[in-house]
Structure 1
């Protein structure tokens, strides 16, 4: 049985890691007297738009940096690698290496359209990446990732009801520094990252970072007998930063970046789930599929952007201005039914009632943002910051169906906001923080060409329809209040109440199939959180934790699939989430570092009258109460879609000193994902549990040469994990990446 095998493999993987860590700990204990000065590194974050110790910020935050971060991307994976690597954070996609969908504390959005709105905000170098394609910009030469949990509606604005993932690149320095990192691996993997920077003049410094990675096509098309037809990619990107510091008061940072992707969109696998079971069946073959359409699922995207970050110190006040422009365009195509319809009426693998192939194009995306912020300086009892924010974006999405043809819809979004936050230090132990933001958000949708070059128009199965422009607007006030109490220098407790909202959403993809656009009203969230932060045992153990409860009124939902693979926006009365997170680090000694994290999220939809359409294929097994005609399910009491109930993360690194010049190290990481429902309605087929991935890295680092050579493996037990599905045609599945092994080197120059 697949279940038994998976459990055995998971047990073996955990046993290996446990044995490894136990042996490391035993050896470390023997050396403790010699190395009693080992400590954990201090972590600085900017969750409140100020540089602060993570232990002083009354917000649930986890960070990723250095080896822990870089190891995730050794095999050339994209931003989705962050899924389950941080407690409470999940991500998935049915759009290949673009349009990732993020979830935090169970709250996210399963909409696969290129115009989708999400409640987890992605911020790269202080610039919000609102469109789903912008969110997929490759991660390289990253200094730190901050996962900021819970609503962030005061300083960061709307569409942050779940939280923020904030990426900060390494910045230019006055001193010369550079590195090159290259790797090769199975499936023809090549992965190169490099950076060089330093002072150009007394007032100007620069840093250039590049990424060049590729993987060969490795999936066969068994229908056309084409070997290695798709599955690979080539992703290239660069970032140029210029730091200008003419005086002690003024610093300006210019950031120019670009990305070019040529690869494969998601691989849809027909009928890899048997009706009544969520286990991959005999139709599943990781190395091959049978496609009769979709041109082997190509995906091509380009993105460019720039930003200017200015800080001017006026003495008591610092003025900050962040101006940014992002552009993107591209296309992806897919054989959505995941199989073959033969001329004699038969289909394979399994029953596929009709062929389905679609292409989506993002055209002329332009996003402009401007933030101006005033912040108090010094260490006075009262500190504050206030400012304004402007956002403007426009783009079009073309959806091309093999029967209806091409239809284009245009989206525009304009937002402005005023915000402020104040911190008051009541005494040496207690500080309180309050924040307020007013946001005005306007969106519109209009329709361009309809059914262009479509066969449906020729035979009279479709008509050109009149669609009036859709305009929605919302003005909201969001706020937060926090208190932090230091018990002593090593421990603090905090409480936080926060409010936020996700602006109204417009979905127009169904127009391509003679449907109507749908609108979801704004959702608002009220979140309550309490937690603690501690550095224990002479700063060798860091243990942070938080408990939370939130209620989302008018929670926005995206009903995906059903009878026609449609996307319909709707609102449920309420969504409720309760849970906790734990983040820990244990520096046993200079040679051994262990980290562990765990999250529990219990989510529930509360709307007794809400009906969501179930699988149009008729091949899945809904477990919810059904409507009288059996086409829809009552989803009251269901968990949120793609909301893992538990996430467990473990890492361990041990170094064996090799004289005074180097070390041999072993690094292992483990990520576990608990029960997860892939849809709003629940079925026997599309609920997963017990999925995990295990990584390993063994290498040598030479201190004198600043040189590292390492063998690496990702998903080393080659787990087959179901990550997404399509329910309208058959029981289609999307699975994770296979095991990848390789070798990597890194050389630094100073």
Structure 2
């Protein structure tokens, strides 16, 4: 224990010194050179991390923003929201549902739970509206102005379920200026990605913007299971989405109405039986990305529909601003898949593969009904003096119905007949009051303090009417509730005109959770609230006369009663547990550079070390893998000392963009490399389920030119340039079934912008 503490302290001190040296030495170098200001300086990045527009360099929060060319390059290839994985320090994203149900991890904190009732410690906020259910978080990314990632607890201003941080999307808003764009790309496997938007004035006070998306990809995965052979049976999708906004701008009043909708029809992510070599974490030698061996592939499907609306009203008074945000969100999903990823089973003579399949698993999950209502009302001061504040109230109401299905793959005469059904119903109400105060002690020192009281209540019923294992009918009711006071205290000190130092300590919580996936078990498990206290300090600096930006942060947090999900572990259901304590520490480096008139670059790096501290916490393990954790007398793996699942220690990203005037336009070429170190896929550690390091390289090159009020762009691009494929997710209760990352994607795009 003492050795660990010394190591932690040493790491924090070293990283702190590094960040300080990076900020001050570069600033000194710039001062010494006394070069004239250049026209190609980095732009000032405005963020709304604290619910008001501020310079990102002056906000005492570890925040990264992604916009412009890099955002366009990353989202090429019709990617869903997972394109953000490892593109920002300490952020990783994964999913076992494919293009829906993304799971976010920040500074190692996330949730591997695949149940549709799973809560997450990373919140997603789109246009100032929280997207609580994981299905809402999969909404396509298009016509987006900026992505912000706020690391560390954000409970004071953003509330419950933000102990790790939040991801924030701001879409392009209507304006009086007429503008828009249209783009179409074509790529590998017949993929088509089309999006466009147009907006402008309807009257001198009313403007509108319409944004559309259509994506389509052919099925390309062949099924080669004996007796079930089929060409192009999986892998495709059709995704449609739209957003319509109206903005009214009066003399001291604005109103913004936003309506959005999504429709996805496609295949779930492909599960592949025994795709991992036993005793290793390598793919089997005969792995083919466009082939599966499944006996239920023909019934695999995924449909998602969602829609929502929000109304933001803002009154500008003499010394205050009143803001009201009313919102409604709704989602439906049905996703059915061959979970074991193979064909046959051990109890069917001479019919099983690939590899050993103990039993067949074909299941589905659905949300037939979901409604989320939120209301926020806040008052912000606009004083010219040293003191400013904002206070507010927040209300959240969600009604959620979940259906879990199990199917008998080998039933006769109707293959795939229903043999298990559970209906979950959860009603959640939460409310909060919050406030934040800024005080300027001097021209150089500004301090912020925040406080929020939250109350959360869940009423839950799980009703099993059909059991696949003869368990019979079961009705279980549970109620959980809690309240919590979140707080934060931060300071920002201007070292000089180019360097800001900040420090922050914050506390937040994740509300109690329930898990009622009782198709194969009788337990409805609950988890108490988790609470986190985080300490961080860092430097934000503009260097080399505005041609460089170096932001560095070090942090340490402790989490009490962390909510963890024991996924699978020899049984096809999940259980919630609380870990006594979890600690995490690390550093983050986020930099941008104007290297010359023609070259721009970014580089970021993060280190996250997490550790579970609970001598008594133990979970069931996999059916066939090689477990490396200590095993107790009950055959359970002891988790004390393990890192958190899907928590890479290292994340890094590098981008380089070259632009050159050519004829009447500009030639450009850009590249990016992202790196994510190894991960544990489950709470316990094993050889097979240790995800390997993942490196992804992307390239994009093209030409832009203008004619009148139009700007044109043609580009070619490739994602996962070196076609690196490996297991990024797994199913452990049956056989060594794995999920493999996307293969190389090559495409071309044409885009036009008009004004």
1:668 maps onto 2:660 in alignment = no
Instruction: Name the residue aligned to 1:589.
Output: 596
1:306 maps onto 2:325 in alignment = no
* Residue deviations 1:503-556 (CA, integer Å, cap 9, x gap): 0000101x2224210000000000000001000111000010100000000011
Provide the rounded CA distance (Å) in 1 between the counterparts of 2:443 and 2:626: 59
- Note closer, same or farther for the CA distance 1:232–1:466 as it changes in structure 2 (3 Å cut): closer
| Corresponding residue to 1:434 among 407, 424, 449 | 449
- 1:60-459 equivalence runs, <5 A: 60-223=62-225, 224-245=228-249, 247-341=250-344, 343-403=348-408, 404-448=419-463, 450-451=465-466
Query: Structure 1 stretch 303-312 or stretch 400-409: which is displaced more?
Result: 400-409
Extract unaligned runs of 5+ from structure 2. Answer: 1-34, 409-418
Instruction: Name the residue aligned to 1:724.
Output: 729
Q: Could you say what the CA RMSD is over the residues aligned between the two structures, in angstroms? A: 1.4
The offset of 1:296, in angstroms, is: 4.9
* Residue deviations 1:382-431 (CA, integer Å, cap 9, x gap): 01000000000011111001254211110111000000000000000000
The offset of 1:449, in angstroms, is: 5.2
1:478 maps onto 2:486 in alignment = yes
The offset of 1:36, in angstroms, is: 4.4
SS of residue in 2 equivalent to 1:171: coil
Q: Any conservation in 1 of the 2:406–2:468 contact (CA below 8 Å)?
A: no
Instruction: Name the residue aligned to 1:27.
Output: none
* Residue deviations 1:8-47 (CA, integer Å, cap 9, x gap): xxxxxxxxxxxxxxxxxxxxxxxxx999431101100000
* Residue deviations 1:641-700 (CA, integer Å, cap 9, x gap): 0001100101010012114x3111101011101121111100011112321110000100
Instruction: Name the residue aligned to 1:546.
Output: 553
The offset of 1:462, in angstroms, is: 2.7
Q: Any conservation in 1 of the 2:112–2:567 contact (CA below 8 Å)?
A: yes
The offset of 1:629, in angstroms, is: 4.2
| Corresponding residue to 2:41 among 18, 39, 42 | 39
Provide the rounded CA distance (Å) in 2 between the counterparts of 1:75 and 1:297: 24
Instruction: Name the residue aligned to 2:414.
Output: none
Q: Any conservation in 1 of the 2:255–2:311 contact (CA below 8 Å)?
A: yes
1:537 maps onto 2:544 in alignment = yes
SS of residue in 2 equivalent to 1:227: strand
| Corresponding residue to 1:608 among 610, 615, 620 | 615
Q: Any conservation in 1 of the 2:463–2:475 contact (CA below 8 Å)?
A: no
Provide the rounded CA distance (Å) in 2 between the counterparts of 1:727 and 1:420: 45
Extract unaligned runs of 5+ from structure 1. Answer: 1-32
Provide the rounded CA distance (Å) in 2 between the counterparts of 1:165 and 1:178: 26
Moved over 4 A (4+): 33-36
Q: Any conservation in 2 of the 1:42–1:53 contact (CA below 8 Å)?
A: yes
Aligned length: 705
Provide the rounded CA distance (Å) in 1 between the counterparts of 2:64 and 2:126: 16
TM-score, with structure 1 as normaliser: 0.93
* Residue deviations 1:54-76 (CA, integer Å, cap 9, x gap): 00001101111112112222111
Q: Any conservation in 2 of the 1:134–1:328 contact (CA below 8 Å)?
A: yes
Q: Any conservation in 2 of the 1:35–1:589 contact (CA below 8 Å)?
A: no
- 1:553-564 equivalence runs, <5 A: 553-564=560-571
Provide the rounded CA distance (Å) in 2 between the counterparts of 1:444 and 1:181: 46
Instruction: Name the residue aligned to 1:465.
Output: 474
The offset of 1:283, in angstroms, is: 4.8
Provide the rounded CA distance (Å) in 1 between the counterparts of 2:37 and 2:57: 25
Provide the rounded CA distance (Å) in 2 between the counterparts of 1:110 and 1:462: 27
SS of residue in 2 equivalent to 1:636: coil
SS of residue in 2 equivalent to 1:108: coil
Provide the rounded CA distance (Å) in 2 between the counterparts of 1:692 and 1:722: 13
SS of residue in 2 equivalent to 1:668: strand
